[in-house]
Structure 1
Amino acid sequence: MSQLLLSYSKILEIVGDLVRVYVPAPAQGEVGKIGFGDLALIENTQDPSQPPYLAQVIELGRESVSLQVFSGTKGLSTQASVRFLGHSMQVAFSGNILGRVFSGAGEPIDSGPNLSEEPHIEIDGPTVNPARRVLASRMIRTDVPMIDIFNSLVESQKIPIFSVAGEPYNQLLAQIGAHADADIIVFGGIGLIFDDYHFFRRAFEQAGVLAKTVMYVHLGSDPTVEALLVPDMALAVAERFAVEEGKRVLVLLTDMTAYADALKEVGVAMEHVPSNRGYIGDLYSQLARRYEKACDYKGAGSVTILSVTTMPGDDVTHPVPDNTGYITEGQFYLHNGVLDPFGSLSRLKQHVIGKVTREDHGQIMNTMVRFYAASQDALQKQAMSFELTEYDQRLLKFGELFHQRFMDIRVSLPLEKALDLCWKTLAECFEPEELLMKQALIDKYFPTAALAKG
């Protein structure tokens, strides 16, 4: 840790978890002095036995600096002194962090050994040089058919799971983390209840992937400022693993709406003029700065970001999902407990489908979605008491099988087995000439009547 640099004792005000301290203007912005995001220690001079409060610079005024106190300001006096550390938030980085769980302040919370002697890195570094980025061309398999077949997850992609409160988005995220063919999983939980944290940890342990996982967890009862640090810590560590060790890193974040709410809470305390629905005016920039860490590095590894974004009231025009949609490369839409094939979209899937996957992948994807759309039309005809044809009955059967075999997020299948199951499902409902697919693919993959019934 850097040597303590500057000390000031004139605290102007304490509001909530914020402390504003008088700092002469020349001390701000100079090399080696106070900068945005720097850490500070606040010590109660009247009670030296009390441990110092850790805080972070969140605003530089003309002759004042505003600090967000990590543990809250309860018990803090205006007679306290503030000492600036001269560096921003740091987090431990080495191979020893794998399998460990950290708080939103970067401290171990898993009863494991202290890592204070391990190398540390700053978490607010710039996004990688665009010249080191290469075009996405590799797939991350998740064993979730609705993703692998219909909206493939591609290395270096940034993509959210849009959902609403009460949906099993955490279960889906845990399943992806447990089965994804990534070298390292970095998990960042924001505003989690303890049950959710315990669920993720247990899921990774049972799947045998905890040894390649790093977890940063902010619980709902933890200080707000720690919610703002979790994505930065997770992404800083992921970037180092990708660049320095050539690892394929998958970053899982939940919930980015809680992150945006924490930004709003700090903005209100700072008396910033609110924008749309009370959120800060630079919400887009704050989200983009994190999502743009997704990258496939030339001659190194990659960082892929999969996040959860809950939509209050299932409103996609809410500021958080609305801004997210402009930044990310598609979305997975989790609705009524299933991944909706019509609301989900991966804008990078064309880089891998049929290129690094089986030759029939593209045609199977299109054919399955086409028949499922037709089955929904037949279902509507049935609901309106129209007479159904024999073909309509087969469409309804296909729709039921599609929902049961592919849309249920509990289904876990390797891509090749899922593609074979698609052919089997088509053969159970339709004749080869009804598929309108390339004959060469039908001849090669369409199962015989005996196999279709098996």
Structure 2
Amino acid sequence: MTRASTSFRGILSIVGDIVEVDASIARRLGIVPRNQELAMVEQDGRPFSLAQVARIDRERVSLKVFTGTQGLSNRAQVRFLGEMMQAIYSTNIFGRVFNGSGQAMDFGPALEEDPRVEISGPTVNPMARILASRMIRTDIPMIDVFNCLVESQKIPIFSVAGEPHNALLSRIAVQADADVVVFGGIGLIYDDFHTFRKAFEDAGILSRSVMFANLASDPVVERTMIPDLALAVAERLAVEEGKRVLVLLSDMTAFADALKELGIAMEHIPSNRGYMGDLYSQLARRYEKACDFKGAGSVTILAVTTMPGGDVTHPVPDNTGYITEGQFYLHDGVLDPFGSLSRLKQHVIGKQTREDHGQIMNTMIRYYAEGIEAEQKQAMAFELSPFDHKLLRFARRFRERFMDLNVRMPLEAALDACWALLAECFSRDEIVIKQSMKETYWPDHVDTNADAEQELAKPS
């Protein structure tokens, strides 16, 4: 009998979605389980659920049961399959939706004969990486102008419940100039999953996208597999097909919560706030898949990370911040220009973008910060100077024209809009920026003084 056809009884305990089996029985049958190996749990002679080896402790092997253990008996049998978890990989996967077991869930044609790729492989050798140097345009001004998304970057969207992070993520998926979009939904409610699916369909990008989805009603074990499935496919597309792949994940806090739940079931000793001590390693193992491959394509990772209670010191966002290269900070329905940061933007600003990009970016943020200070002075009934009134006007229009998440502008148009707003609110001499830049890009057709005086004449 082959390894994959040999089944045995030996279940010692069932806790949550974890089944513990007696490995000594397997060894007597000539079977030595391996870490992360797949197994089939059978009951009454029929397959019950796929499972995966989660821990090997001498004569005890813990299995993560994909569909959960409800209805499972201690008299069930286990059959080790001798293979690791795999994702379907072929040209037939585009436009398809897969679940956390890697199986198609969209009622499309069966893909059982298509080739597969193992997931959870090692991260890329640093010698095979090249320095990030290419921008991914999203047509979202608060990203393209102020915090560029760079190929091979790994960056989270820090958010809280109720914020439109999934709407923002779907907009990036539709508007980003990537070759392929790989989406991984982790613990999504059905409405959010449907929103993503419909956005992809309406924008016509299904033919260059792949979706992996675990819904809130789906098994917790499958929730932990979504990032690995998405990243395995993305890596293969980048290496073998030379594609520029954008991986979108939502939500990594749900992924970490699933790891915590399984860790508690296996009686692991919890660390900070109940999360396991290997949380950093678990997150880093996924994020470090982001890479610009030498002589091939790239994998860029953008992942929603919700902060319970808006607490940035929560273990998930806290550990994430040590791994990733900045963050997009979403609160009050906008991307905060002060809390957001792209540490790789200096690799593309002024190199792949227009010469005025760096200076206009810094100038806009500086005047917006001063505008916030002017708003605080106004709220406290301090006397405002004429220049304060100009700053108030600038701050209000900055929020309307750039911070609104519904605004869509190509980078060059957004840079021109920045110059136009400066010219509307200030005179040329009031703007602290290189004279050569002002001579080249200042919009002479804007009547700065008349517009500003009308604004100042309005009663406060």
Structure 1 residues 107 and 159, CA, compared in 2 at 3 Å: closer, same or farther? same
Map residues 125-204 of structure 1 onto 2, 5 A cutoff: 125-204=121-200
Note if 1:314 corresponds to 2:313.
no
Query: Is 1:371 aligned to 2:370, yes or no?
Result: no
User: Where does residue 17 of structure 1 map in the other structure?
Assistant: 17
8 Å Cα contact 1:246-1:302 kept in structure 2 = yes
Q: Is the 8 A contact 1:164 1:310 kept in 2?
A: yes
Contact 2:423 2:446 in 1 (8 A): no
Aligned to 2:457: none
Deviations 1:408-442 (A, max 9, x none): 11111110110010010000001112111111111
The worse-fitting range, judged by mean Cα deviation, of 34-43 and 328-337 is 34-43
Shift of 1:389: 1.2
Instruction: State how many pairs are aligned.
Output: 448
Decide whether the 8 Å contact of 1:140 with 1:182 is kept in 2.
yes
Q: In structure 2, how many angstroms separate the alpha carbons of the residues matched to 1:184 and 1:145? A: 22
8 Å Cα contact 1:139-1:356 kept in structure 2: yes
Task: Tell me what 2:39 maps to.
Answer: 40
- Distance in 2 between residues matched to 1:326 and 1:42, nearest whole Å: 39
Alignment match of 2:248 (pick from 249, 252, 259): 252
1:355 is aligned, of 351, 356, 371, to: 351
Where do 1:211-226 residues align within 5 Å? 211-226=207-222
Question: Is 1:417 aligned to residue 399 of structure 2?
Answer: no
How far apart are residue 335 of structure 1 and its match?
A: 0.9
Query: Quick check: 1:133–1:296 contact (8 Å CA) kept in 2?
Result: yes
Matched, 1:346 2:342: yes
- Selected match of 1:117 from 110, 113, 119: 113
- Give the residue type in structure 1 aligned to 2:355: E
Structure 1 residue 16 displacement after superposition? 2.0
Q: State whether residues 37 and 82 of structure 2, in contact with CA within 8 Å, keep that contact through their aligned partners in structure 1.
A: yes
Residue deviations 1:26-77, cap 9 Å, x none?
949x9x9421111101111xx23x4332111111011011111111122222
Contact 2:158 2:305 in 1 (8 A): yes
Aligned partners of 1:362, 1:304: CA distance in 2, in Å? 23
Deviating more after overlay: 10-19 vs 402-411: 10-19
**Alignment partners' CA distance in 2, 1:285 and 1:450:** 54
SS in 2 for 1:40: strand
| Whole-Å separation in 2 of the counterparts to 1:5 and 1:86 | 10
Q: Which of 57, 60, 68 is the equivalent residue of 1:64?
A: 60
Question: Which of the residues 204, 207, 210 maps onto 2:206?
Answer: 210
> Counterpart in 1 of 2:283?
287
Q: In the alignment, which residue of structure 2 is the partner of 1:97?
A: 93
Q: 1:79 is matched with which residue?
A: 75
Separation of aligned partners in 1, 2:131 and 2:260:
35
- Give the equivalent residue in structure 2 for 1:300: 296
State the alpha-carbon separation in 1 of the partners of residues 370 and 40 from structure 2. 64
**C-alpha deviation, 1:111, in angstroms:** 1.6
Letter of the aligned partner of 1:24 in structure 2? S
- Does the alignment pair 1:405 with 2:404? no
Quote the offset at 1:369 in angstroms: 0.2
Q: Which stretch shifts more, 112-121 or 71-80?
A: 71-80
Q: Is the 8 A contact 1:6 1:33 kept in 2?
A: no
Secondary structure in structure 1 of the residue aligned to 2:257: helix
Deviation at residue 207 of structure 1 after TM alignment: 1.3
Deviation of 1:24 (Å)? 2.2
Question: What are the residue-to-residue correspondences of 1:421-432 with 2, within 5 Å?
Answer: 421-432=417-428
Kept in 2: contact 1:41–1:54 (CA 8 A): yes
1:318-329 aligned at under 5 Å gives the runs: 318-329=314-325
Judged with a 3 Å threshold, the aligned counterparts in structure 2 of structure 1 residues 27 and 444 are, in CA distance, closer, same or farther, namely farther
In structure 2, C-alpha distance between the alignment counterparts of 1:25 and 1:60, rounded to whole Å: 14
Instruction: Out of 119-128 and 9-18, give the one that drifted further.
Output: 9-18
Q: Are the aligned partners of 1:427 and 1:449 in contact in 2 as well (CA < 8 Å)?
A: no
What's the CA shift for 1:6?
4.9
Task: Say which SS state the counterpart of residue 76 (structure 1) adopts.
Answer: coil
Match of 1:448 in 2: 444
C-alpha distance in 1, partners of 2:109/2:280? 38
Q: With structure 2 as the length reference, what TM-score do the two structures score?
A: 0.95
| Corresponding residue SS for 2:181 | strand
State the alpha-carbon separation in 1 of the partners of residues 321 and 221 from structure 2. 25
The answer to which of 183-192 and 441-450 deviates more is 441-450
1:24 match: secondary structure: helix
CA distance in 2 between counterparts of 1:23 and 1:451 reads 81
**Offset at residue 449 of structure 1 (A):** 3.4
Using the alignment, how far apart are the partners of 2:225 and 2:73 within structure 1? Answer: 26
Moved more, 76-85 or 90-99: 76-85
Matched residue type, 1:41: M
Tell me the amino acid that sits aligned with residue 40 of structure 1.
A
CA distance in 2, matches of 1:451, 1:191: 52
The answer for unaligned runs of 5 or more in structure 1 is none
Q: Determine if contact 1:5/1:33 at 8 Å carries over to the other structure.
A: no
Query: CA distance change for structure 1 residues 371 and 79 in 2, over 3 Å: closer, same or farther?
Result: same
* Cα distance in 1, alignment partners of residues 441 and 373 from structure 2: 28
Q: Residue in 2 aligned with 1:241?
A: 237
| Secondary structure in structure 1 of the residue aligned to 2:149 | coil
Q: Determine if contact 2:424/2:446 at 8 Å carries over to the other structure.
A: no
Mapped partners of 1:187, 1:325: distance in 2: 22
Amino acid corresponding to residue 7 of structure 2 in structure 1: S
Secondary structure of 1:52's counterpart equals strand
TM-score (norm 1): 0.96
Provide closer, same or farther for how the CA distance between residues 295 and 239 of structure 1 changes in structure 2, counting only shifts above 3 A. Answer: same
Paired with 2:5 and 2:396, the residues of 1 have a C-alpha distance of 67
RMSD of Structure 2 on Structure 1 (CA): 1.7
Secondary structure, in 3 states, of the residue corresponding to 2:135?
coil
Task: Kindly provide the amino acid, as one letter, of the partner of residue 35 in structure 1.
Answer: R
Q: Secondary structure of the residue that 1:51 maps to in structure 2? A: strand
C-alpha displacement of 1:3: 6.4
